[in-house]
Chain A
Amino acid sequence: MMTIRIIPCLDVDEGRVVKGIKFSELRDAGDPVALARRYQEQNADELVFLDIGASHQSRETMLSIVEQVSQQVFIPLTVGGGIRSVEDMRRALQAGADKVAVCSAALRDPQLLAEGAARFGAQCIVLSIDAKRTENGWHAYTHGGRRDSGRDVLAWAREAEALGAGEILLNSIDMDGTQAGYDLELTRRVAEAVNIPVIASGGAGTLPQIRDAVAQGKADAVLLASLLHYGEFTVNDIKSYLADNQVEVRWSSHQSI
């Protein structure tokens, strides 16, 4: 039986994790390498690094961070933000990423998904969708959620699967940062539309909301940022709660459920 994955997301700008960190015991709280190690110790199932910096230098710094993390942290790493070409994918994978997430660039050129899958395998291509409710269903947005591409999210998810995406990272722009819970309807609709795993993102504020993303939203994994970075919950807190609520999660071998 497959377990539900808890995936901390580190938004990195010019080499620093942003969105705020409250781990007082970390000397350098915004250090992505230290945070990655912390989350591995807490039984995080994977890690996602999103480069939100705009500059070329920020991209280079990100690759160096991934290189360092991959020498010390032995769980899967996904890198996203600014991946625009097969060459960008190759460099991220070469640095130590196991998967790459593409968003705007794939909407501009869907063949990027097919080319990446052919070259590196579908399992390393994650399609990131920034979804926002409109009068005509959900639309996929680009440029960090600022521009409407006009693409219907469900159609886009299905097309991406056909092209070779191995997984969908589904972020609700409407819920992001609200801590009011995931967009369950969006998550469920996308999860039912495709046969590849769906990672729910955006809106988590409480433990029951995380359970709902799985139980009602049919998500295979949940992405978390602020909730973890601010130290409100650890990954283990979330896993304990889910295990108590009939959701199977992974523990390291010395722990019992």
Chain B
Amino acid sequence: MIGIVDYGAGNLRSVKKALDFLGAESRIVAAPGEIEGIEKMILPGVGAFRAAMEKLQEKKLIQPVAEWLAEDRPFLGICLGMQILFESGEESPEVPGFGIFRGAVPRFRQGRVPQIGWNRVRFSRPTLLSEGLEDGAFFYFLHGFYVAPQEASIVCGETEYGIRYPSMIQRGNIYAVQFHPEKSADNGLKLLQNWVDLS
């Protein structure tokens, strides 16, 4: 059973619809008690760093998610769900993120912001998630901030938008992507299926 953390911002249900389409069992987790019984966790998200952390706080989900991450249990962060794994965002530096990865979350300073549309992901380090996907495969992006990790070793996918930045990271059982696999047609469904299939 996959738990999709719902903290009430943006369109979080689209991840559930994609998992339903793939035939993967999932349920929405909106309270600490609902984490009981799930084997994998997805932290989706669009919107703002501060609002996300505040909503998670309101729903008392920060501690259970932090514990999940600390125990290196199967996890997929999507978009903002990737960014809040870091220490803090440039947009609201006083609001701490989960801080399991060191590094900043700066705003794009070039091109149109937010980046909205399809861009390539170069799998700089192949992982189980990129299996069966061509290097440079297209995914849908929708973000104004990006992650700048201190440890280069966690980066497994990169994208160019005026600068080259990490669009996919992994350490142990923790995976996170900057793009939206649930909105990336066949490539996205393939990547989600790969994650679902991880044992």
Cβ-defined contact, B114 with A122, below 8 A: yes
Interface-side segment among B6-14, B35-43, B92-100, B168-176? B6-14
Interface assignment of A204: CB less than 8 Å from any CB of chain B: no
Cβ-defined contact, B11 with A197, below 8 A: no
Interface range on chain B (Cβ under 8 Å from partner): 35 or more
Scan residues 155-189 of chain B and give those whose CB is less than 8 A from a CB of chain A.
160-161, 180, 182-189
Interface assignment of A209: CB less than 8 Å from any CB of chain B: no
Contacts of B161 in A (CB 8 A): 1-2
Return the CB mask of A214-233 against B: 1 if under 8 Å, else 0. Answer: 00000011000000000000
Interface assignment of B134: CB less than 8 Å from any CB of chain A: yes
Return the CB mask of B16-39 against A: 1 if under 8 Å, else 0. Answer: 011011000000000000000000
Kindly state the separation between the CA atoms of A5 and B189 in the bound complex, as whole angstroms. 20
Kindly state the separation between the CA atoms of A57 and B101 in the bound complex, as whole angstroms. 49
Return the CB mask of A117-128 against B: 1 if under 8 Å, else 0. Answer: 011111110000
Kindly state the separation between the CA atoms of A225 and B2 in the bound complex, as whole angstroms. 39
Prevailing SS type, chain B contact patch: mixed
A-B residue pair count with CB separations less than 8 angstroms:
111
Scan residues 90-121 of chain B and give those whose CB is less than 8 A from a CB of chain A.
111-120
Interface-side segment among B64-72, B81-89, B137-145? B137-145
Interface range on chain A (Cβ under 8 Å from partner): 35 or more
Cβ-defined contact, A196 with B113, below 8 A: yes
Kindly state the separation between the CA atoms of A5 and B116 in the bound complex, as whole angstroms. 9
Across the A-B interface, give the 5 residue pairs with the lowest CB-CB distance, nearest first.
A121-B47, A250-B118, A250-B138, A253-B134, A93-B11
Contact sample, A vs B, 26 pairs, CB 8 Å cutoff? A1-B120, A1-B160, A2-B161, A3-B118, A74-B18, A74-B21, A74-B185, A74-B189, A75-B183, A75-B185, A96-B11, A96-B13, A98-B11, A98-B183, A120-B9, A121-B51, A122-B144, A123-B116, A166-B114, A196-B114, A197-B117, A220-B112, A251-B138, A252-B186, A253-B134, A253-B186
